[in-house]
Structure 1
Amino acid sequence: MPGVNAGATLRFSCSQLVVDRLDPLCPACNPGVVGSPHLHQIVGGNSFNASMDHDVPSGSTCTSCTPAEDFSNYWTATLFFRARNGTFKRVQTLGNPLGFGAAAGGQTVYYLSSGKVTAFKTGFRMTVGDPTFRTQAQIKQYPMLTFTCLQTSTTRSGSTTNFPTGTCKVGIMVSIRFPTCWDGTNLDSPNHQSHVAYPSGNRCLSTHPVSIPQVFYETIWDTSPFNDKSQWPADGSQPFVWSFGDKTGYGNHGDYIFGWKGDALQKAMDANCNSDLLGNNINCPVLKSQSLQQGNQCTKQRIVKDDLDGWLTELPGGVMMS
């Protein structure tokens, strides 16, 4: 039996499910209202909707993630290129070239532990980051939200908490690490964050005593088509902007709704799985998995019919730059 001090590393692909202006965890929205303030890229189970008031695993008929029992939803804002003439073009996501290049965009998801952890319960949800942040001082509250300018697919140095200022040959990788301590009681909180916390050093504080897996996203945005600096803003500033109007990058944030079937995630954590799930359960026989191609086939139709293709005169939803 694995020792309780061992760690688990689940790393897997979640192909793009849908890009839509929906957000059931938006603090400024009323749950169930269709048309959130800004656009999101969403992966995971195909029951994702504006309210998420259903049982997530049983509500989905497929998942875009390679673990076949994971119907969770993972989502972030969407990236846009802002051209010199003031128009916007949506940036596409890439399947991670380190193992998941055949994925139809989306992101790489990790569940990490360094010892015994308690998996999330049915109904659990959380967010990390703050879309209103625009300064380096503010983002210090969330030091585990970073950007990496990829000159090669293996670049992992030089991360920043703001948008890269130079051209990135392979693209920009956005990393989002969620807190790893839970209050042990609440599955959610009014701001979707207070029920979880980062540890102090390696220990969870008494207010949030329960160790949970660290959920970690890596999203690779294919910025390579926009590396011609003659198209960048005339003042030489970096040209990328989040769908909520942030051109600094400090408003980076991520959202999560737990949707693993039964106790599959707890079993994987208890077994200290250390695995890239590519359809063959490498080092993780307790989990069922599907191929990248099967994950690519799990998609859903957009609900909010914004114009997302071609060059746009404004960000979807009429979001203003800030």
Structure 2
Amino acid sequence: MKRNARKRRTPLAVKAVAASAALALGGGGLLWANFYASAHESANQAGTGNRTKAASNRIVAITCPDVRQRLGTVPPAIQGEIDRELAGLDRQTTAFNQRLAAAGEEQAKDPEFIENSLIQLLQRSRTTVLQRIPVKITQAGGTAPGDLLDLARCTAVPAGQKDTGGQQDSGGQKDGGGQQDGGGGQKGGLGGQAGNGPTAADFVDITKVRPNIRAKAADGRNASTGTFTTRCGVNANKLRNSDNVIVAPGVTNGAHHTHDYVGNQKIDAFSDNGNFLQGTTSCRNKNDKSSYYWPVLRVQDGTQEADHDKLGGGKEGNVGRILTPKQVEIKYVGNRNGKVVPMPQFLRIITGDAKTTTNGLANANANWSCTGFEDRVQLTEQYPVCPRGSNVVRTFAFQSCWDGANVDSANHRSHVAFTDRNGDCANGFKAIPQLTMRLVYKVAPPAIVNGQVKNPYAVDGFPEQLHKPATDHDDFISITTGNLARKIADCVNRGRNCA
């Protein structure tokens, strides 16, 4: 459809939608000060035809490029400020997805509604932020990416579309782990108690999945073969929030989904290196004040949790009964080819990607299985339906190579890396103890009836990520006292099994 054939919203209607979206932002209203500033041409025009055509279908989400993936080095003095700008972009996308969720009648009446009244306005707002970020980086003495404005463009996701991200690649071995081969995708409809997933196609009977785990490679002569186990509980005290101090410091609800926390008991958006050590810990070893946190798992059975009417919870499509793990295993292991160095104090690591539905699976590290099947089947793109007597298992193997200098980076990824296929750290990185985590849940198997899933379970996530299993991720901040970091490395290097 040509641009001049579109219906145009009246200025009053456009202002009403803008006001609605601004209200949905809550405390972020200042982001809209330059809402009607001229957008970069690529933001207004690129991909317009495809989006207009998609609008004739039922649109289930609006997704925008992940700007964090494009950032290089950010001057440390403004890292927090840039993180808050990026958190503002997430807040904008969330607000417009909330507006979309309430716009069923408008969609039905006007196929152009999503394009004219939501996407174009969101793109203009993103453009304002994306113009500010390079200026701030340059003024602080850094080198800003030159193509950030290309990331202003957002996309309407029609029901039935499998993904909106980059190349799908569920294979690949990470740190000696098994080959990922989840397969499957959305086959129509959106499903989920809150209307944003999961769908029946997001589940698979694990007894019908062929084995996909490759044999582990042999250790080298100089391997660090020990293990160090830390026991920090299962979050029975329900320490939870929807902050993320790593990616959105100083921003309440920066994660837009709820996390379980074990270890350090003083972690929220306003924690920092200056007060991390003041927190108590749930770990038996009181020298382990590290923070271990992950998205909660919920059963969408109609239960209204305490956050059912709050941001991060039901207002952003994260609904249902939160499950407390029946078991949490946290273990540090070594490198199969050499010795490890201690983790530096306050090292931050994020494993997996909360935005794989947008970004594709390049950084996905979700591993789903069932007890009794873990050595045969690991899934990335589907949730397992476990047989009677078997429990759902989420496992994470974190990046185990460190650049030797930085405890964080602009994109919160490039300062750490996985080993290569030979088990070595490349690019001069140093091997550190590899953090591994195993979470076990008792979950009643969801039922698939006439192509619809009843009482599904799913991880919390950003509303536009559709509760896909590949969006699972885990976060960690190394905080230790009593020389514990060195003791962990020494244990692993000496081939001992310590706890």
TM-score (norm 2): 0.46
Q: Which residue of 2 aligns with 1:161?
A: 380
What residue in structure 1 maps to residue 241 of structure 2? 20
CA contact (8 A) 2:299 2:323 kept: no
Change over 3 Å in CA distance of 1:178–1:47 after alignment to 2? same
- The answer to whether the 8 A contact 1:163-1:240 is kept is no
1:235 aligns with 2:454: no
Q: What is the aligned length?
A: 253
Rate the CA distance shift 1:57–1:274 in 2: closer, same or farther, 3 A.
farther
The answer on whether the counterparts of 1:175 and 1:216 sit within 8 Å (CA) in structure 2 is: yes
Q: How far, CA to CA, are the matches of 1:58 and 1:77 in structure 2?
A: 23
Identify the match of residue 122 of structure 1 among 345, 370, 382: 345
Residue of structure 1 in register with 2:286 after alignment:
68
The structural deviation recorded for 1:56 is 5.6
Selected match of 2:270 from 11, 33, 51: 51
1:90 aligns with 2:310: no
- C-alpha offsets along residues 111-154 of structure 1, whole Å, 9 cap, x if unaligned? 1103411111122112111111139x933544x4300123x5x8
Alpha-carbon offset, residue 69 of structure 1: 1.1
Higher helix share: 2
Question: Is the 8 Å Cα contact of residues 287 and 484 (structure 2) preserved in structure 1?
Answer: yes
SS in 2 for 1:139: coil
Distance across 2 between alignment mates of 1:175 and 1:160: 10
Tell me how far 1:197 sits from its aligned partner: 0.7
- 1:257 matched to 2:257? The reply is no
CA distance in 2, matches of 1:250, 1:233: 23
- CA–CA distance in 1 between the matches of 2:230 and 2:418? 23
**Quick check: 1:116–1:270 contact (8 Å CA) kept in 2?**
no
**Greater share of strand:** 1
Residue aligning to 1:40: 259
Q: Calculate percent identity across the aligned residue pairs.
A: 23
Contact 1:171 1:222 in 2 (8 A): yes
Question: Contact 1:149–1:164 at 8 Å: present in 2 too?
Answer: no
Partners of 1:10 and 1:274 within 8 A in 2: no
**Given residue 138 of structure 1, which amino acid in structure 2 is its aligned partner?**
G
| Contact 1:91 1:222 (8 Å CA) reproduced | no
Q: Which has the larger radius of gyration?
A: 2
Deviates more, 1:70-79 or 1:162-171: 162-171
DSSP 3-state at the match of 1:250: helix
Higher relative contact order (CA 8 A, sep 6+): 1
**Matched residues in 2 for 1:234 and 1:213: separation?**
47
In structure 2, distance between residues paired with 1:270 and 1:134: 40
* Alpha-carbon distance change, 95 to 10 in structure 1, aligned in 2, over 3 angstroms: farther
The residue that corresponds to 1:138 in the other structure is 360
> What do the CA deviations read for 1:16-69 (whole angstroms, capped 9, x no partner)?
15122221123xx3x1222231111111011212132134663123x1123221
Q: What CA distance in whole angstroms lies between the structure 2 residues aligned with 1:233 and 1:83?
A: 15
Cα gap change, 1:160/1:140 in structure 2, threshold over 3 Å: closer, same or farther? farther
Change (3 A) 1:87 1:167: farther
- The amino acid of 2:458's aligned partner reads V
- Check the 8 A contact 2:353/2:363 in 1, yes or no: no
Any stretches of 5+ residues in structure 2 without a counterpart?
1-220, 304-316
1:181 aligns with 2:401: yes
Please give the alpha-carbon distance, in whole angstroms, between the structure 2 residues aligned to 1:134 and 1:213.
Answer: 30
Shift of 1:241: 2.2
Query: 1:245-277 CA distances to partner (integer Å, 9 max, x unpaired)?
Result: 4432011111111111142121232133767xx
CA distance in 2, matches of 1:202, 1:56: 36
Sort the Cα spacing of 1:47 and 1:240 in 2 relative to 1 into closer, same or farther, 3 A: same
Aligned to 2:148: none
Q: CA deviation at 1:4?
A: 6.0
For structure 1, list consecutive stretches of 5 or more residues without a partner in the other structure: 97-106, 276-282, 290-322
Q: Is the Cα contact below 8 Å between 2:228 and 2:491 reproduced in 1?
A: no
In 1, distance between residues paired with 2:333 and 2:485? 11
Matches within 5 A, 1:106-117: 107-114=328-335, 115-117=338-340
* Residues 382 and 469, structure 2, Cα contact 8 Å, conserved in 1: yes
Q: Distance in 2 between matches of 1:263 and 1:87?
A: 40
